[in-house]
Structure 1
Amino acid sequence: MTANVASLFSVENKRVVVTGALGGIGSAIARLFLEAGAKLILADREHSFRETPPGTVYIPADFSAEGGADALIQHIQNAPVDIVIHTAGIEGHVGSMDDCAEADWLRTMRINLLSAQLLSAAAVKGMQQRGDGRLIYVGSIAGKRGTSALGLYSVTKAGLSQLARNYAVQQGKYGITANCICPGLIDTPLSKHLQADAAFMTKRMQQTPLNRLGSTDEIAATALYLASAAGGFTTGQDIVVDGGTLISDC
Protein backbone atom coordinates (compact mmCIF):
# COMPACT_ATOMS: atom_id res chain seq x y z
CA MET A 1 0.00 0.00 0.00
CA THR A 2 1.31 3.44 -0.89
CA ALA A 3 2.08 5.66 2.09
CA ASN A 4 -0.04 8.79 2.49
CA VAL A 5 1.09 12.31 3.29
CA ALA A 6 0.07 12.11 6.94
CA SER A 7 2.11 8.98 7.62
CA LEU A 8 5.13 10.11 5.61
CA PHE A 9 5.51 13.34 7.58
CA SER A 10 4.29 12.16 10.96
CA VAL A 11 6.28 12.66 14.17
CA GLU A 12 3.28 11.77 16.33
CA ASN A 13 4.37 10.80 19.86
CA LYS A 14 8.05 10.96 18.93
CA ARG A 15 10.28 12.22 21.74
CA VAL A 16 12.15 15.19 20.30
CA VAL A 17 14.94 17.23 21.87
CA VAL A 18 15.21 20.80 20.58
CA THR A 19 18.16 22.87 21.79
CA GLY A 20 18.24 26.63 21.44
CA ALA A 21 14.48 26.36 21.77
CA LEU A 22 14.01 30.04 22.63
CA GLY A 23 15.83 31.20 19.50
CA GLY A 24 14.18 32.14 16.23
CA ILE A 25 14.79 28.83 14.45
CA GLY A 26 14.56 26.70 17.57
CA SER A 27 11.21 28.12 18.62
CA ALA A 28 9.80 27.69 15.10
CA ILE A 29 10.87 24.05 15.12
CA ALA A 30 9.35 23.55 18.57
CA ARG A 31 6.02 25.05 17.46
CA LEU A 32 5.80 22.97 14.29
CA PHE A 33 6.75 19.70 15.97
CA LEU A 34 4.32 20.35 18.81
CA GLU A 35 1.55 20.88 16.26
CA ALA A 36 2.63 17.65 14.57
CA GLY A 37 2.10 15.72 17.82
CA ALA A 38 5.68 15.30 19.03
CA LYS A 39 6.63 15.02 22.71
CA LEU A 40 9.12 17.85 23.22
CA ILE A 41 12.14 18.19 25.46
CA LEU A 42 13.12 21.85 25.12
CA ALA A 43 16.53 23.14 26.16
CA ASP A 44 17.94 26.64 26.37
CA ARG A 45 20.10 28.65 28.74
CA GLU A 46 17.15 30.65 30.08
CA HIS A 47 15.73 29.40 33.35
CA SER A 48 12.19 29.02 32.11
CA PHE A 49 9.89 29.47 29.14
CA ARG A 50 7.11 32.01 29.45
CA GLU A 51 4.68 29.33 28.30
CA THR A 52 5.49 25.63 28.40
CA PRO A 53 2.84 23.57 26.57
CA PRO A 54 1.29 20.68 28.51
CA GLY A 55 3.32 17.49 28.20
CA THR A 56 6.45 19.40 27.22
CA VAL A 57 9.59 19.10 29.32
CA TYR A 58 11.88 22.10 29.73
CA ILE A 59 15.47 21.57 30.90
CA PRO A 60 17.83 24.54 31.36
CA ALA A 61 21.14 23.94 29.60
CA ASP A 62 24.09 26.32 29.48
CA PHE A 63 26.26 24.92 26.71
CA SER A 64 28.96 27.54 27.34
CA ALA A 65 29.89 26.00 30.69
CA GLU A 66 31.58 22.68 31.37
CA GLY A 67 28.87 20.44 32.77
CA GLY A 68 26.18 22.95 31.81
CA ALA A 69 24.28 20.34 29.80
CA ASP A 70 24.63 17.51 32.33
CA ALA A 71 20.96 17.63 33.36
CA LEU A 72 19.83 17.40 29.73
CA ILE A 73 22.25 14.56 28.98
CA GLN A 74 21.09 12.68 32.08
CA HIS A 75 17.46 13.11 31.05
CA ILE A 76 18.18 11.72 27.58
CA GLN A 77 20.03 8.74 29.03
CA ASN A 78 17.22 7.98 31.47
CA ALA A 79 14.38 8.51 28.98
CA PRO A 80 15.61 7.71 25.45
CA VAL A 81 14.60 10.06 22.66
CA ASP A 82 13.79 9.51 19.00
CA ILE A 83 15.05 12.75 17.52
CA VAL A 84 17.69 15.33 18.46
CA ILE A 85 17.53 18.75 16.77
CA HIS A 86 20.45 20.97 17.71
CA THR A 87 19.92 24.65 16.93
CA ALA A 88 21.84 26.22 19.83
CA GLY A 89 24.62 28.51 18.67
CA ILE A 90 26.25 31.92 18.91
CA GLU A 91 27.83 34.21 16.34
CA GLY A 92 31.02 34.48 18.37
CA HIS A 93 33.97 36.72 17.54
CA VAL A 94 33.48 39.08 14.60
CA GLY A 95 36.59 40.10 12.69
CA SER A 96 39.91 38.59 11.74
CA MET A 97 40.64 35.15 13.13
CA ASP A 98 44.09 36.45 14.05
CA ASP A 99 42.44 38.58 16.73
CA CYS A 100 40.55 35.73 18.40
CA ALA A 101 41.44 34.98 21.97
CA GLU A 102 41.62 31.39 23.15
CA ALA A 103 38.54 32.04 25.28
CA ASP A 104 36.62 33.04 22.13
CA TRP A 105 37.59 29.79 20.44
CA LEU A 106 36.66 27.64 23.41
CA ARG A 107 33.29 29.30 24.07
CA THR A 108 32.16 29.25 20.43
CA MET A 109 33.36 25.69 19.90
CA ARG A 110 31.69 24.48 23.08
CA ILE A 111 28.30 26.06 22.35
CA ASN A 112 28.10 25.47 18.60
CA LEU A 113 29.83 22.13 18.13
CA LEU A 114 30.87 20.23 21.27
CA SER A 115 27.36 20.42 22.71
CA ALA A 116 25.98 18.75 19.57
CA GLN A 117 28.47 15.92 19.95
CA LEU A 118 27.70 15.41 23.64
CA LEU A 119 23.95 15.26 23.05
CA SER A 120 24.33 12.94 20.08
CA ALA A 121 26.52 10.56 22.04
CA ALA A 122 23.94 10.50 24.83
CA ALA A 123 21.05 9.88 22.42
CA VAL A 124 22.41 7.21 20.10
CA LYS A 125 22.51 4.42 22.68
CA GLY A 126 18.73 4.41 23.00
CA MET A 127 18.33 4.87 19.26
CA GLN A 128 20.55 1.85 18.60
CA GLN A 129 18.38 -0.34 20.81
CA ARG A 130 15.24 0.69 18.89
CA GLY A 131 16.91 0.50 15.48
CA ASP A 132 15.79 4.01 14.54
CA GLY A 133 16.67 7.62 15.25
CA ARG A 134 17.35 11.06 13.82
CA LEU A 135 20.18 13.49 14.49
CA ILE A 136 19.61 16.92 12.95
CA TYR A 137 22.01 19.84 13.28
CA VAL A 138 21.37 23.42 12.20
CA GLY A 139 24.54 24.62 10.53
CA SER A 140 24.96 27.49 8.08
CA ILE A 141 26.11 28.28 4.57
CA ALA A 142 28.91 30.13 6.39
CA GLY A 143 30.37 26.68 6.99
CA LYS A 144 30.52 26.02 3.26
CA ARG A 145 32.53 29.03 2.09
CA GLY A 146 35.19 31.43 3.31
CA THR A 147 34.17 34.42 5.39
CA SER A 148 35.98 37.63 6.22
CA ALA A 149 34.30 38.31 9.56
CA LEU A 150 32.75 35.15 11.02
CA GLY A 151 35.74 32.83 11.15
CA LEU A 152 34.98 31.00 14.40
CA TYR A 153 31.29 30.68 13.60
CA SER A 154 32.00 29.27 10.14
CA VAL A 155 34.52 26.73 11.47
CA THR A 156 32.02 25.39 14.00
CA LYS A 157 29.23 25.24 11.42
CA ALA A 158 31.51 23.32 9.04
CA GLY A 159 32.17 21.01 11.97
CA LEU A 160 28.46 20.28 12.32
CA SER A 161 28.33 19.20 8.67
CA GLN A 162 31.21 16.80 9.28
CA LEU A 163 29.63 15.58 12.52
CA ALA A 164 26.52 14.65 10.54
CA ARG A 165 28.58 12.74 7.97
CA ASN A 166 30.51 10.89 10.67
CA TYR A 167 27.38 9.88 12.55
CA ALA A 168 25.67 8.88 9.32
CA VAL A 169 28.50 6.46 8.54
CA GLN A 170 28.96 5.16 12.08
CA GLN A 171 25.27 4.78 13.03
CA GLY A 172 23.60 3.89 9.74
CA LYS A 173 23.69 0.18 10.55
CA TYR A 174 21.39 0.94 13.49
CA GLY A 175 18.83 2.76 11.34
CA ILE A 176 19.97 6.19 12.59
CA THR A 177 20.21 9.09 10.16
CA ALA A 178 22.24 12.27 10.67
CA ASN A 179 21.95 15.44 8.61
CA CYS A 180 22.83 19.12 8.76
CA ILE A 181 20.50 21.93 7.66
CA CYS A 182 22.50 24.87 6.28
CA PRO A 183 20.38 28.01 6.24
CA GLY A 184 21.24 31.18 4.43
CA LEU A 185 20.08 34.54 5.76
CA ILE A 186 16.96 33.88 7.84
CA ASP A 187 14.69 36.46 9.45
CA THR A 188 15.59 35.90 13.11
CA PRO A 189 16.59 38.12 16.03
CA LEU A 190 20.19 37.01 15.44
CA SER A 191 20.17 38.52 11.94
CA LYS A 192 18.55 41.85 12.81
CA HIS A 193 21.89 43.70 12.87
CA LEU A 194 22.60 42.42 9.36
CA GLN A 195 19.15 43.41 8.16
CA ALA A 196 19.82 46.92 9.46
CA ASP A 197 22.97 47.21 7.29
CA ALA A 198 21.67 48.57 3.98
CA ALA A 199 24.89 47.94 2.05
CA PHE A 200 25.09 44.35 3.28
CA MET A 201 21.46 43.65 2.44
CA THR A 202 21.77 45.11 -1.05
CA LYS A 203 24.76 42.88 -1.77
CA ARG A 204 23.16 39.78 -0.23
CA MET A 205 19.92 40.20 -2.15
CA GLN A 206 21.92 40.58 -5.37
CA GLN A 207 23.58 37.25 -4.53
CA THR A 208 20.28 35.52 -3.73
CA PRO A 209 18.14 34.48 -6.72
CA LEU A 210 14.93 34.48 -4.67
CA ASN A 211 15.77 38.03 -3.54
CA ARG A 212 14.43 37.68 -0.01
CA LEU A 213 15.24 36.44 3.46
CA GLY A 214 14.19 32.96 4.48
CA SER A 215 11.64 32.32 7.22
CA THR A 216 12.11 30.25 10.34
CA ASP A 217 9.09 28.17 9.29
CA GLU A 218 10.96 27.11 6.14
CA ILE A 219 13.81 25.79 8.28
CA ALA A 220 11.37 24.09 10.65
CA ALA A 221 9.64 22.39 7.71
CA THR A 222 13.00 21.09 6.50
CA ALA A 223 13.66 19.65 9.95
CA LEU A 224 10.24 17.97 9.92
CA TYR A 225 11.07 16.29 6.60
CA LEU A 226 14.37 14.98 7.95
CA ALA A 227 12.77 13.81 11.20
CA SER A 228 9.90 11.93 9.57
CA ALA A 229 9.61 8.80 7.46
CA ALA A 230 9.80 11.01 4.37
CA GLY A 231 13.46 11.67 5.15
CA GLY A 232 14.29 8.11 6.14
CA PHE A 233 16.69 7.50 3.24
CA THR A 234 18.42 10.88 3.55
CA THR A 235 21.56 10.78 5.66
CA GLY A 236 24.96 12.42 5.89
CA GLN A 237 23.75 15.39 3.88
CA ASP A 238 23.99 19.16 4.03
CA ILE A 239 20.51 20.43 3.19
CA VAL A 240 21.07 23.99 1.99
CA VAL A 241 18.09 26.31 2.48
CA ASP A 242 19.34 29.69 1.32
CA GLY A 243 17.22 30.99 -1.53
CA GLY A 244 20.01 30.11 -3.96
CA THR A 245 22.80 32.24 -2.44
CA LEU A 246 25.44 29.51 -2.67
CA ILE A 247 24.76 28.70 -6.32
CA SER A 248 24.55 32.29 -7.53
CA ASP A 249 27.22 33.71 -9.85
CA CYS A 250 26.55 37.30 -8.71
Structure 2
Amino acid sequence: MTDARDPLPDLSPGALFSCAGQVAIVTGAGTGIGRVSAAALGAAGARVVLAGLSESEPQVAADELVARGADAVGFDCDVTDAGQLAELIETTVARWGRIDTVVANAGAALDRPGAEDALERMDRMYALHVRAVAGLAERTLPVMADGGGGAFLVMSSLSGLRGNRVLSGYGVTKAANAQLVRNIAVQWGGRGIRANAISPGVIATDFARPITADAAAAEARLAKTPLGRFGTPEEVAGAVVWLASPVGAFVSGQNIVIDGGTLISD
Protein backbone atom coordinates (compact mmCIF):
# COMPACT_ATOMS: atom_id res chain seq x y z
CA MET A 1 0.00 0.00 0.00
CA THR A 2 1.30 3.43 -0.91
CA ASP A 3 1.40 5.90 1.98
CA ALA A 4 0.61 9.54 1.24
CA ARG A 5 4.18 10.40 2.32
CA ASP A 6 5.82 7.86 -0.02
CA PRO A 7 7.30 9.12 -3.29
CA LEU A 8 4.76 9.01 -6.07
CA PRO A 9 5.26 6.28 -8.67
CA ASP A 10 5.71 7.13 -12.34
CA LEU A 11 2.21 8.20 -13.39
CA SER A 12 3.01 9.13 -16.95
CA PRO A 13 0.76 7.51 -19.58
CA GLY A 14 3.82 5.83 -21.04
CA ALA A 15 4.42 4.01 -17.76
CA LEU A 16 0.83 3.35 -16.74
CA PHE A 17 -0.18 1.90 -20.09
CA SER A 18 3.10 0.25 -21.08
CA CYS A 19 2.95 -3.26 -22.52
CA ALA A 20 6.71 -3.39 -23.08
CA GLY A 21 8.09 -6.92 -22.88
CA GLN A 22 4.72 -8.53 -23.39
CA VAL A 23 3.80 -11.08 -26.03
CA ALA A 24 0.20 -10.66 -27.18
CA ILE A 25 -2.04 -12.78 -29.40
CA VAL A 26 -5.01 -11.10 -31.07
CA THR A 27 -7.51 -13.21 -33.03
CA GLY A 28 -9.66 -11.76 -35.77
CA ALA A 29 -6.79 -9.30 -36.17
CA GLY A 30 -6.84 -8.77 -39.92
CA THR A 31 -9.56 -6.14 -39.89
CA GLY A 32 -11.67 -3.85 -37.74
CA ILE A 33 -11.42 -3.81 -33.95
CA GLY A 34 -8.92 -6.67 -33.92
CA ARG A 35 -6.53 -4.94 -36.31
CA VAL A 36 -6.62 -1.65 -34.40
CA SER A 37 -6.33 -3.40 -31.03
CA ALA A 38 -3.25 -5.27 -32.24
CA ALA A 39 -1.78 -2.00 -33.48
CA ALA A 40 -2.47 -0.32 -30.13
CA LEU A 41 -0.77 -3.15 -28.23
CA GLY A 42 2.20 -2.89 -30.58
CA ALA A 43 2.37 0.85 -30.04
CA ALA A 44 2.37 0.21 -26.28
CA GLY A 45 5.44 -2.00 -26.67
CA ALA A 46 4.04 -5.51 -26.99
CA ARG A 47 5.22 -8.08 -29.49
CA VAL A 48 2.06 -9.08 -31.32
CA VAL A 49 0.81 -12.14 -33.18
CA LEU A 50 -2.08 -11.14 -35.45
CA ALA A 51 -4.21 -14.22 -36.16
CA GLY A 52 -7.04 -14.26 -38.67
CA LEU A 53 -8.64 -16.11 -41.54
CA SER A 54 -6.39 -16.14 -44.59
CA GLU A 55 -8.82 -13.98 -46.57
CA SER A 56 -8.46 -11.21 -43.96
CA GLU A 57 -4.70 -11.14 -44.70
CA PRO A 58 -3.35 -10.95 -41.15
CA GLN A 59 0.22 -10.73 -42.41
CA VAL A 60 -0.66 -7.51 -44.27
CA ALA A 61 -1.98 -6.09 -41.00
CA ALA A 62 1.18 -7.25 -39.22
CA ASP A 63 3.36 -5.61 -41.87
CA GLU A 64 1.59 -2.32 -41.14
CA LEU A 65 2.62 -2.64 -37.49
CA VAL A 66 6.19 -3.49 -38.41
CA ALA A 67 6.32 -0.37 -40.59
CA ARG A 68 5.34 1.61 -37.48
CA GLY A 69 8.20 0.11 -35.50
CA ALA A 70 6.40 -2.75 -33.76
CA ASP A 71 7.52 -6.37 -33.55
CA ALA A 72 4.63 -8.24 -35.14
CA VAL A 73 3.81 -11.28 -37.24
CA GLY A 74 0.67 -12.46 -39.00
CA PHE A 75 -0.72 -15.98 -38.75
CA ASP A 76 -3.45 -17.55 -40.86
CA CYS A 77 -5.76 -19.27 -38.40
CA ASP A 78 -9.35 -20.44 -38.21
CA VAL A 79 -9.82 -20.51 -34.44
CA THR A 80 -12.62 -23.08 -34.74
CA ASP A 81 -10.06 -25.56 -36.09
CA ALA A 82 -8.37 -27.17 -33.08
CA GLY A 83 -5.27 -28.06 -35.07
CA GLN A 84 -4.77 -24.53 -36.38
CA LEU A 85 -5.39 -23.11 -32.92
CA ALA A 86 -2.78 -25.41 -31.38
CA GLU A 87 -0.30 -24.43 -34.10
CA LEU A 88 -0.91 -20.74 -33.37
CA ILE A 89 0.01 -21.21 -29.71
CA GLU A 90 2.97 -23.47 -30.43
CA THR A 91 4.35 -21.05 -33.00
CA THR A 92 4.00 -18.08 -30.63
CA VAL A 93 5.78 -19.85 -27.78
CA ALA A 94 8.50 -21.14 -30.09
CA ARG A 95 9.11 -17.61 -31.42
CA TRP A 96 8.98 -15.61 -28.20
CA GLY A 97 8.91 -18.08 -25.32
CA ARG A 98 5.91 -16.66 -23.52
CA ILE A 99 2.35 -15.33 -23.77
CA ASP A 100 1.20 -12.41 -21.63
CA THR A 101 -1.98 -11.11 -23.26
CA VAL A 102 -4.66 -12.79 -25.33
CA VAL A 103 -7.43 -10.89 -27.10
CA ALA A 104 -10.11 -13.32 -28.28
CA ASN A 105 -11.69 -11.06 -30.86
CA ALA A 106 -12.66 -13.36 -33.76
CA GLY A 107 -16.39 -13.19 -34.35
CA ALA A 108 -19.22 -13.26 -36.86
CA ALA A 109 -22.88 -12.26 -36.91
CA LEU A 110 -24.62 -15.02 -38.85
CA ASP A 111 -28.26 -14.52 -37.80
CA ARG A 112 -30.88 -14.33 -40.54
CA PRO A 113 -34.39 -13.71 -39.18
CA GLY A 114 -36.75 -16.43 -40.34
CA ALA A 115 -34.00 -18.61 -41.81
CA GLU A 116 -34.72 -22.32 -41.86
CA ASP A 117 -31.17 -23.01 -40.67
CA ALA A 118 -31.37 -20.66 -37.67
CA LEU A 119 -30.20 -23.32 -35.21
CA GLU A 120 -27.32 -24.33 -37.44
CA ARG A 121 -26.28 -20.68 -37.62
CA MET A 122 -26.36 -20.48 -33.84
CA ASP A 123 -24.23 -23.60 -33.63
CA ARG A 124 -21.62 -21.98 -35.88
CA MET A 125 -21.57 -18.85 -33.72
CA TYR A 126 -21.33 -20.96 -30.57
CA ALA A 127 -18.33 -22.74 -32.07
CA LEU A 128 -16.67 -19.39 -32.81
CA HIS A 129 -17.65 -17.27 -29.81
CA VAL A 130 -17.65 -19.87 -27.03
CA ARG A 131 -16.00 -23.17 -27.90
CA ALA A 132 -13.07 -21.58 -29.76
CA VAL A 133 -12.55 -19.05 -26.95
CA ALA A 134 -12.59 -21.88 -24.40
CA GLY A 135 -10.07 -23.75 -26.55
CA LEU A 136 -7.87 -20.66 -26.76
CA ALA A 137 -8.03 -20.30 -23.00
CA GLU A 138 -7.24 -23.97 -22.44
CA ARG A 139 -4.06 -23.65 -24.50
CA THR A 140 -2.86 -20.21 -23.39
CA LEU A 141 -3.73 -19.87 -19.71
CA PRO A 142 -1.21 -22.46 -18.45
CA VAL A 143 1.54 -20.77 -20.48
CA MET A 144 0.55 -17.35 -19.15
CA ALA A 145 0.34 -18.61 -15.57
CA ASP A 146 3.76 -20.27 -15.77
CA GLY A 147 5.14 -16.90 -16.93
CA GLY A 148 3.71 -15.07 -13.93
CA GLY A 149 0.19 -14.28 -15.15
CA GLY A 150 -1.38 -11.99 -17.68
CA ALA A 151 -4.57 -10.71 -19.27
CA PHE A 152 -7.13 -12.83 -21.12
CA LEU A 153 -9.57 -10.53 -22.91
CA VAL A 154 -12.70 -11.54 -24.79
CA MET A 155 -14.52 -9.31 -27.24
CA SER A 156 -18.13 -9.79 -26.27
CA SER A 157 -20.92 -7.43 -27.37
CA LEU A 158 -23.68 -5.12 -26.29
CA SER A 159 -25.90 -7.69 -28.00
CA GLY A 160 -25.12 -10.07 -25.14
CA LEU A 161 -26.60 -7.61 -22.64
CA ARG A 162 -29.87 -6.67 -24.38
CA GLY A 163 -32.75 -8.41 -26.07
CA ASN A 164 -32.37 -8.59 -29.84
CA ARG A 165 -34.92 -8.74 -32.65
CA VAL A 166 -32.32 -9.66 -35.27
CA LEU A 167 -29.08 -10.73 -33.57
CA SER A 168 -30.63 -13.41 -31.40
CA GLY A 169 -28.07 -16.20 -31.77
CA TYR A 170 -25.24 -13.70 -31.82
CA GLY A 171 -26.49 -12.19 -28.57
CA VAL A 172 -26.86 -15.58 -26.90
CA THR A 173 -23.32 -16.65 -27.77
CA LYS A 174 -21.84 -13.29 -26.79
CA ALA A 175 -23.59 -13.50 -23.43
CA ALA A 176 -22.06 -16.94 -23.03
CA ASN A 177 -18.51 -15.82 -23.73
CA ALA A 178 -18.86 -13.04 -21.16
CA GLN A 179 -19.82 -15.70 -18.60
CA LEU A 180 -16.80 -17.74 -19.66
CA VAL A 181 -14.67 -14.72 -18.73
CA ARG A 182 -16.12 -14.61 -15.23
CA ASN A 183 -15.40 -18.31 -14.77
CA ILE A 184 -11.79 -17.87 -15.93
CA ALA A 185 -11.32 -14.93 -13.57
CA VAL A 186 -12.39 -17.05 -10.60
CA GLN A 187 -10.60 -20.23 -11.65
CA TRP A 188 -7.27 -18.67 -12.63
CA GLY A 189 -7.00 -15.54 -10.50
CA GLY A 190 -4.81 -17.35 -7.98
CA ARG A 191 -2.21 -17.86 -10.70
CA GLY A 192 -2.05 -14.24 -11.73
CA ILE A 193 -4.56 -14.36 -14.58
CA ARG A 194 -7.04 -11.53 -14.92
CA ALA A 195 -9.88 -12.11 -17.37
CA ASN A 196 -12.24 -9.47 -18.70
CA ALA A 197 -14.80 -9.02 -21.44
CA ILE A 198 -15.27 -5.93 -23.58
CA SER A 199 -18.73 -5.28 -25.01
CA PRO A 200 -18.74 -2.73 -27.81
CA GLY A 201 -21.92 -1.17 -29.12
CA VAL A 202 -22.01 -0.11 -32.74
CA ILE A 203 -18.45 0.65 -33.83
CA ALA A 204 -17.78 2.17 -37.24
CA THR A 205 -16.17 -0.83 -38.98
CA ASP A 206 -17.08 -2.99 -41.94
CA PHE A 207 -18.62 -5.45 -39.46
CA ALA A 208 -21.22 -2.85 -38.44
CA ARG A 209 -21.84 -1.55 -41.95
CA PRO A 210 -25.36 -3.10 -42.14
CA ILE A 211 -26.31 -0.57 -39.44
CA THR A 212 -24.04 2.38 -40.12
CA ALA A 213 -24.65 2.41 -43.89
CA ASP A 214 -28.42 2.01 -43.64
CA ALA A 215 -29.95 5.43 -43.02
CA ALA A 216 -33.03 4.11 -41.20
CA ALA A 217 -31.09 1.64 -39.07
CA ALA A 218 -28.45 4.23 -38.22
CA GLU A 219 -31.05 6.82 -37.24
CA ALA A 220 -32.86 4.32 -35.01
CA ARG A 221 -29.68 3.28 -33.23
CA LEU A 222 -28.37 6.81 -32.76
CA ALA A 223 -31.71 7.83 -31.28
CA LYS A 224 -31.04 5.30 -28.51
CA THR A 225 -27.42 6.36 -27.98
CA PRO A 226 -26.96 9.31 -25.59
CA LEU A 227 -23.68 10.39 -27.20
CA GLY A 228 -25.45 10.49 -30.56
CA ARG A 229 -22.70 8.86 -32.63
CA PHE A 230 -21.10 5.52 -33.39
CA GLY A 231 -17.88 4.45 -31.72
CA THR A 232 -14.47 4.08 -33.31
CA PRO A 233 -12.13 1.06 -33.22
CA GLU A 234 -9.48 3.02 -31.34
CA GLU A 235 -11.95 3.69 -28.52
CA VAL A 236 -12.22 -0.07 -28.06
CA ALA A 237 -8.49 -0.58 -28.54
CA GLY A 238 -7.84 1.86 -25.71
CA ALA A 239 -9.69 -0.44 -23.33
CA VAL A 240 -7.65 -3.40 -24.60
CA VAL A 241 -4.39 -1.62 -23.77
CA TRP A 242 -5.74 -0.49 -20.39
CA LEU A 243 -6.71 -4.02 -19.39
CA ALA A 244 -3.43 -5.48 -20.65
CA SER A 245 -1.24 -2.87 -18.97
CA PRO A 246 -0.05 -2.33 -15.39
CA VAL A 247 -2.77 0.20 -14.69
CA GLY A 248 -5.40 -2.48 -15.42
CA ALA A 249 -3.78 -5.10 -13.21
CA PHE A 250 -6.49 -5.07 -10.50
CA VAL A 251 -9.43 -5.41 -12.90
CA SER A 252 -10.77 -8.93 -13.38
CA GLY A 253 -14.07 -10.66 -14.09
CA GLN A 254 -15.65 -7.52 -15.55
CA ASN A 255 -17.59 -6.74 -18.72
CA ILE A 256 -16.52 -3.31 -19.96
CA VAL A 257 -19.28 -1.75 -22.06
CA ILE A 258 -18.20 0.74 -24.75
CA ASP A 259 -21.43 1.87 -26.38
CA GLY A 260 -21.90 5.64 -26.03
CA GLY A 261 -24.52 5.00 -23.32
CA THR A 262 -26.88 2.83 -25.37
CA LEU A 263 -27.24 0.19 -22.67
CA ILE A 264 -28.47 2.64 -20.05
CA SER A 265 -30.63 4.74 -22.35
CA ASP A 266 -34.38 4.99 -21.72
Please, what TM-score do these two structures have when normalized by structure 2? 0.87
Change (3 A) 1:173 1:125: same
Residue 86 of structure 1 aligns to which amino acid in structure 2? A
Determine the structure 2 residue equivalent to 1:11. Answer: 19
Asked if structure 1 preserves the Cα contact closer than 8 Å seen for 2:60 and 2:74, the reply is no
Rounded Cα–Cα distance in structure 1 between residues aligned with 2:132 and 2:92:
14
Instruction: Return structure 1 stretches of 4+ with deviation > 4 angstroms.
Output: none
Asked if structure 1 preserves the Cα contact closer than 8 Å seen for 2:46 and 2:71, the reply is no
**Among 222, 227, 250, the residue aligned to 2:239:** 222
Determine the structure 1 residue equivalent to 2:4. Answer: none
Rounded Cα–Cα distance in structure 1 between residues aligned with 2:117 and 2:60:
35
Determine the structure 1 residue equivalent to 2:250. Answer: 233
Deviation at 1:18, TM superposition (A): 0.5
Change (3 A) 1:107 1:68: farther
2:91 is aligned with 1:75 = yes
Deviation at 1:77, TM superposition (A): 5.6
**Among 211, 226, 230, the residue aligned to 1:213:** 230
2:32 is aligned with 1:24 = yes
Residue 38 of structure 2 aligns to which amino acid in structure 1? A
**Among 184, 209, 216, the residue aligned to 2:201:** 184
Residue 183 of structure 1 aligns to which amino acid in structure 2? P
Q: What aligned pairs does 1:30-109 form with structure 2 within 5 A after superposition?
A: 30-46=38-54, 48=57, 49-50=59-60, 52=63, 53=66, 55-65=71-81, 67-76=83-92, 78=94, 79-96=97-114, 99-109=116-126
Rounded Cα–Cα distance in structure 1 between residues aligned with 2:118 and 2:215:
30
Deviation at 1:89, TM superposition (A): 0.3
Change (3 A) 1:168 1:20: same
Rounded Cα–Cα distance in structure 1 between residues aligned with 2:182 and 2:241:
19
Rounded Cα–Cα distance in structure 2 between residues aligned with 1:60 and 1:86:
15
Rounded Cα–Cα distance in structure 2 between residues aligned with 1:23 and 1:126:
27
Asked if structure 2 preserves the Cα contact closer than 8 Å seen for 1:182 and 1:240, the reply is yes
Change (3 A) 1:161 1:33: same
Deviation at 1:145, TM superposition (A): 1.1
Residue 55 of structure 1 aligns to which amino acid in structure 2? D
2:211 is aligned with 1:155 = no
Which moves more between the two structures, 198-207 or 161-170? Answer: 198-207
Determine the structure 2 residue equivalent to 1:122. Answer: 139
Deviation at 1:67, TM superposition (A): 3.2
Residue 82 of structure 1 aligns to which amino acid in structure 2? D
Change (3 A) 1:236 1:199: same
Deviation at 1:101, TM superposition (A): 4.3
Q: Deviations over 1:11-56 (max 9, x none)?
A: 0120000100012000111111111111001100116422522632
Please, what TM-score do these two structures have when normalized by structure 1? 0.93
Deviation at 1:185, TM superposition (A): 0.5
Rounded Cα–Cα distance in structure 2 between residues aligned with 1:110 and 1:192:
24
Identity of aligned residues (%): 35
Deviation at 1:233, TM superposition (A): 0.8
Deviation at 1:140, TM superposition (A): 0.5
Residue 50 of structure 1 aligns to which amino acid in structure 2? V
Paired residue total: 248
Determine the structure 2 residue equivalent to 1:2. Answer: 8
Asked if structure 2 preserves the Cα contact closer than 8 Å seen for 1:18 and 1:87, the reply is yes
Residue 69 of structure 1 aligns to which amino acid in structure 2? L
Asked if structure 2 preserves the Cα contact closer than 8 Å seen for 1:19 and 1:44, the reply is yes
Residue 169 of structure 2 aligns to which amino acid in structure 1? L
Rounded Cα–Cα distance in structure 1 between residues aligned with 2:249 and 2:44:
17
Residue 112 of structure 2 aligns to which amino acid in structure 1? V
Asked if structure 2 preserves the Cα contact closer than 8 Å seen for 1:128 and 1:175, the reply is yes
Determine the structure 1 residue equivalent to 2:3. Answer: none
